[in-house]
């Protein structure tokens, strides 16, 4: 790329962030972060008629119906919830299980999650690395404590910091699973951004979709089922910018528009050709090649 095509400026949002948002020569703001900060940026930049693209919080859920391929669904939630230590906006933070398969699925999930190899992310043998900072690990631990205090939520796996031996060289945390979670609990509503999974029970497909939609966010979603009618109903009724059928919530196919609805974004989409809409201006151009006006003027002069 030519010099100055890309410029990287580091610093706190209160200094560098505000300066970028307010600068008259910065025409477009693309922000990835919390819904609260995104809302403030949108208002501040909107007062200057700047274009703003927001990719904000998520509380992504995977539905598993009673007719699903259980092994496939199990693999999906394991890496959706604990891949990248849950530190991605599309991470599977909620698991909604049909009541008929709930207990058996949870049993298998715990068994498999216990075997996840945790360690240095640069070691190809490891399956889960550390959290990004001490502050983030403290935040994850705080949400575990909140889950333990909430009515009838049961911690069935993890919940602890890993600090001894090799774990002293990073901010490690155990894969963590809560069951008996109710839709309105904070661990089912608020983004944690760590390896914490809330498991909820659904009576049927309608109930599962209602539970999935019952958050302020709407980024990624997933359903595992062999019923094509259930799949199409989920495509239609789930309130999310992305819906996967028989795949985890964490995919990021660059050929498809990426973004969310409700508190997750303001309608713009990253990736695919749609990303050009936020970073370019349309200009309509009309060229008249007929020359009729010119000929008419010549005829009048000749007359």
Active site residues: 55, 89
Tokens matching residue 263: 């508190």
Phi, psi of 131 (to 5 degrees): -75, 165
Looking only at the bridges linking them, the beta strands covering 176-179 and 154-157 are: antiparallel
Q: Tell me what pLDDT residue 250 has.
A: 92
Tokens matching residue 162: 């890993």
Q: Tell me what pLDDT residue 277 has.
A: 86
Helix (H), strand (E) counts: the chain: 10, 11
Per-residue pLDDT of the chain (303 residues; tens, 9 = 90+): 899 899 899 999 889 999 999 999 999 999 999 999 999 999 999 999 999 999 999 999 999 999 999 999 999 999 999 999 999 999 999 999 999 999 999 999 999 999 999 999 999 999 999 999 999 999 999 999 999 998 789 999 999 999 999 999 999 999 999 999 999 999 999 999 999 999 999 999 999 999 999 999 999 999 999 999 999 999 999 999 999 999 999 976 788 999 999 999 998 888 888 888 888 988 999 988 877 666 656 666 765
Count other Cβ atoms within 10 Å, centred on residue 177.
25
Q: Contact at 8 Å (CB) between 90 and 249?
A: yes
Q: Tell me what pLDDT residue 299 has.
A: 67
Polymer length in residues for the chain:
303
- Element (H or E) spanning 121, and its range? none
Count other Cβ atoms within 10 Å, centred on residue 253.
11
Q: Tell me what pLDDT residue 292 has.
A: 66
Question: Can you say whether the dihedral through the CA atoms of 92, 93, 95, 96 is positive or negative?
Answer: negative
Q: Tell me what pLDDT residue 137 has.
A: 98
d(C-alpha 60, C-alpha 15), whole Å:
32
Distance linking the first and last C-alpha atoms of the chain: 60
Alpha-carbon dihedral 218, 243, 143, 139, rounded to 10 degrees? -80
Q: Tell me what pLDDT residue 290 has.
A: 76
Q: Tell me what pLDDT residue 72 has.
A: 98
How distant, in Å, are the alpha carbons of 4, 48, 83, 265 from that of 21?
Answer: 19, 9, 33, 17
């Amino acid at each position: 790329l030519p010099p100055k095509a890309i410029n990287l400026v580091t610093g706190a949002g209160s200094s560098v962030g505000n300066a970028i948002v307010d600068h008259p020569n910065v025409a477009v703001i693309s922000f990835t972060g919390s819904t609260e900060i995104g809302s403030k940026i949108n208002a501040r930049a909107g007062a200057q008629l700047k274009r703003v693209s927001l990719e904000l919080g998520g509380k992504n859920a995977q539905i598993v119906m009673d007719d699903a391929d259980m092994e496939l669904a199990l693999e999906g939630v394991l890496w959706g919830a604990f891949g990248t230590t849950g530190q991605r906006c599309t991470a599977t933070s909620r698991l909604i299980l049909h009541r008929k398969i709930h207990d058996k699925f949870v049993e298998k999930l715990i068994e498999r999650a216990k075997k996840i190899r945790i360690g240095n992310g640069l070691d190809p043998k490891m399956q889960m690395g550390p959290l990004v900072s001490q502050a983030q690990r403290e935040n994850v631990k705080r949400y575990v404590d909140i889950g333990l205090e909430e009515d009838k939520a049961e911690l069935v796996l993890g919940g602890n910091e890993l600090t001894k031996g090799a774990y002293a060289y990073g901010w490690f945390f155990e894969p963590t699973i809560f069951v008996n979670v109710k839709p309105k609990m904070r661990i089912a509503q608020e983004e944690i951004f760590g390896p914490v999974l809330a498991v909820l029970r659904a009576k049927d497909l309608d109930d599962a979709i209602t539970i999935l939609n019952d958050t302020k966010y709407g980024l990624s979603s997933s359903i595992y089922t062999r019923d094509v009618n259930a799949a199409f109903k989920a495509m239609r009724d789930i309130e999310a910018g992305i819906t996967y059928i028989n795949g985890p919530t964490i995919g990021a196919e660059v050929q498809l528009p990426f973004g969310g609805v409700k508190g997750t974004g303001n309608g713009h989409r990253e990736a695919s050709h749609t990303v050009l809409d936020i970073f370019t201006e349309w200009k309509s151009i009309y060229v008249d090649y007929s020359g009729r006006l010119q000929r008419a003027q010549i005829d009048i002069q000749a007359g």
